[in-house]
Every structure is written in C-alpha cells, then in structure tokens.
Amino acid sequence: MKSLLNKSLLDIDQLNPNDIKNIIDEATSLSEKRNPMTKKYLGGKSVLTLFFENSTRTRTSFELAAKKLGSDVINFSLESSSVKKGESLLNTIKTLEAMKFDLLIVRHADSGAPYFISKNINIPVINAGDGLHAHPTQTLLDIYTIQKKLGTLKNKKISIIGDVLHSRVARSNILGFAKLGATVYINSPRTLSLWKNKLFESNNSKVIFVDNIYNALDDADVIMPLRIQLERQKQGNIPSLREYSKYWGINSQKLKIAKKDVLIMHPGPVNEGIEITTELVNSDKSLINEQVKNGLYIRMAIIKSILSEICK
C-alpha cells in the first residue's frame, strides 16, 4: 500500500478515490488475518489520542487499532489536561511535540482545530472529529461497510436524515459518498439543515437536499438517520423530541417505500426510539454493529498507512 507517510488525515476531501480504495484494501487485508501480525508493524511507535471532547467509542476504537498494530498508546483527555487551567492549545501541543509522539489522534469541539494542530507541529494528525466540520475515519468506515454489502457506492441512493447542521459525520459523508459516485439525499427539519441547503457553491447534482422525507426514503439503498441532540429543543430548532420522532424518526412503516433490502446505518450513539426504532436497530437491515467492527480495521489501516514504511 502506498504510504500517506508523514501526512495528516484531516478530512475525506483530501483523498482521491484511489487513496480511499487503498485504505479499504488495507483494512480488508487486516480484517482477514486472524491475528493481524500484532506488534510487527509499529513496534516502538508511540501514538497519542488527544481528545478535547468526550468520546469513549471513537477513542477506544483508535486505541485498540493502534495497539493491535503494536504501537504504544497514551490517552490524553480534557479532564486530565491543563487546558482547563488556561493553557493555550498552542502551548499544549508544543509540549506534546517535545515528547516526540509519532502520531496524534485529535478530537476537538472547535471546527478546524486539528488543522491548526497539524500546521503548528511536526507530527502527523488524524482528525477524530472536529466540531461540526469533519469525521473522516467515520466516513471511511461507512464507505467500507457499504462496499462490503453492496459492492460499490456508484449510483446507489444513500439518504441522510436529521440534524445535518450540527453533524461533522454528515459533512464528511456527503463529500465521501458523492466522490465515489453515490447520489446523496438529505432531509432535515429546515432549522437543522444547511443554509440554503447547500454544501457547495456550485450545483453538485450528486447531493440533493429534499423538502420531504419521503423523497429521500423512496427507493433508497442506504438510510442513515443522524443522532438528534437533546439540547436542540432548548435552542428552538425543533418543537419537541416527540414531534421530531414522529416526522423524522425512521420506523418500519416509513421504510416501506425504500428498497426492499435497504440498509440502515447510524454513526452512533443511537437514541433508540427517537431517530430510529429499537426494532430497526436490532433488525437484519441494521449495519450499526458492523460499522463499529469495520471501524477498527479502517483505523488500523489509516494508522498503518501513515506510520508504516512497509509497502505492500
């Protein structure tokens, strides 16, 4: 595999379809090994997960991925940091740079923070989610998951439902899915959509915002409801969770107009019974656990491709 050596992975938009294919091929290869050559790849490398925003699932997935490749992993989170003591982000990362980590895995509540970090230190950065902006490893694992089931994203109808405005997963997925030839449909309450329903200035016909959820669900290959944050009601974005659930919650009734073998995905964590019914989460249409499993291999592949000089 061609190495992304010494280069940060900040969002899916920096990768071309061939880069994506290489990462997925590597993930596939790692997943097929019973014991993916533990310790051999990255012995002696040290990886820091640097989480300025809480997350157990994503951090654990990265930690496990890095450990399975044989690297040492240190976890650094907001609670244990000096950020709360008023230390600047720049100071914090300069200190960490002096400790000579080989790779930083960064999550930050501010959009663009991983770009700032990557610019100011000489260590590659993987963006594990920045503000409302991007979550490229989620997109890669979603692409991997869809490809495993459907073979390709090309000409598939993938529908993203819900709070696109506040979703970094949605932004990265729209870019990534469209790049691989899918047609992405988006439906949200207008108050939780993008301004003028546009992610690009130019008309990108592969990204279609629709006013009616049924236009998004109709004949869909994949449906991805997004997590609705409880505070959206307080901010005046929606009248109530009950109303949201009634009109935007995915249930088996609404799925009738989708493809018969439609797949359900969710970036997690799920508010069961609100954006999607428990019944569907546990149904055979659901790829939610598959996403988590594939996430591990994708993250291994990314870490390996950034750090390893071994070319396949």
Partner 1 sequence: MKSNKIVIKNGNIIDPSSGINEVGDVVIENSYIIDVLPLSNETYSSDYKIINAKSMLVTPGFIDLHTHLRDPGQEWKETINTGSRSAAKGGFTTITSMPNTIPVLDNVNIVSDLIDRSKSEGIVRILPIGSITVGQKGKNISPMNELAEVGVIGFSDDGNPVSDPNIMKQALMYSKDLSLPIINHAEDKNIVGKGLMNEGVVSNRLGLFGADPSGETIMIARDLILAERAGAKLHIPHISLSASLILLEIYKNMDVNVTAEVTPHHLTLNENWVYGKKGEVPDYIDEDSYDTNAKVNPPLRTLDDAKDMVDGLAEGLIDIIATDHAPHSELEKKCSFAEAAHGINVLETAFSSVFDLFLNKSISINRIIESLTSKPAEIFNLHKIGKLQKGYFADVVIIDPKAKWKVKEDQFVSKSSNTPLLDLDMNGKIICTISEGKIIYKDNKFYV
Q: Point out which residues bind partner 1 (CB under 8 A).
A: 8, 10-11, 13-14, 88-90, 108-113, 115-116, 118-120, 130-134, 168, 171, 194-196, 198-201
Contact 224, 163 (CB under 8 A): no
Is 135 or 156 the residue whose CB approaches partner 1 more closely?
135
Is 29 or 111 the residue whose CB approaches partner 1 more closely?
111
Strand partners, 48: 74, 104
To the nearest whole angstrom, how small is the minimum distance from the Cβ of residue 123 to partner 1?
13
To the nearest whole angstrom, how small is the minimum distance from the Cβ of residue 32 to partner 1?
31
How many C-beta atoms lie closer than 10 Å to residue 96's C-beta?
A: 18
Residue 238, SS3 per DSSP = coil
To the nearest whole angstrom, how small is the minimum distance from the Cβ of residue 236 to partner 1?
10
To the nearest whole angstrom, how small is the minimum distance from the Cβ of residue 216 to partner 1?
19
To the nearest whole angstrom, how small is the minimum distance from the Cβ of residue 204 to partner 1?
11
What are the backbone dihedrals phi and psi of residue 299, each rounded to the nearest 5 degrees, phi first?
A: -70, -35
CA-based nearest residue to 113, from 123, 127, 99, 124: 127
Is 199 or 257 the residue whose CB approaches partner 1 more closely?
199
Is 199 or 208 the residue whose CB approaches partner 1 more closely?
199
To the nearest whole angstrom, how small is the minimum distance from the Cβ of residue 10 to partner 1?
7
Is 195 or 212 the residue whose CB approaches partner 1 more closely?
195
The DSSP symbol for 46 reads: E
To the nearest whole angstrom, how small is the minimum distance from the Cβ of residue 282 to partner 1?
32
In our burial notation (b when 16+ CB lie closer than 10 A, e otherwise), range 209-239 reads: bbeebebbbeebbbbbbbbbeeebbeeebbe
The H-assigned helical ranges of the chain are 17-32, 57-68, 89-98, 113-120, 136-150, 168-179, 213-217, 231-234, 241-248, 252-255, 278-281, 288-307
To the nearest whole angstrom, how small is the minimum distance from the Cβ of residue 237 to partner 1?
11
- Distance, in Å, from the CA atom of 293 to the CA atom of 296, rounded to the nearest integer, reads 6
With 0-12 / 13-18 / 19 or more C-beta atoms within 10 angstroms meaning exposed / middle / buried, residue 266 is: buried
CA-based nearest residue to 223, from 265, 252, 192, 164: 265
Is 36 or 176 the residue whose CB approaches partner 1 more closely?
176
Is 6 or 278 the residue whose CB approaches partner 1 more closely?
6
Is 61 or 118 the residue whose CB approaches partner 1 more closely?
118
- Taken in order 164, 243, 270, 77, is the CA torsion positive or negative? positive
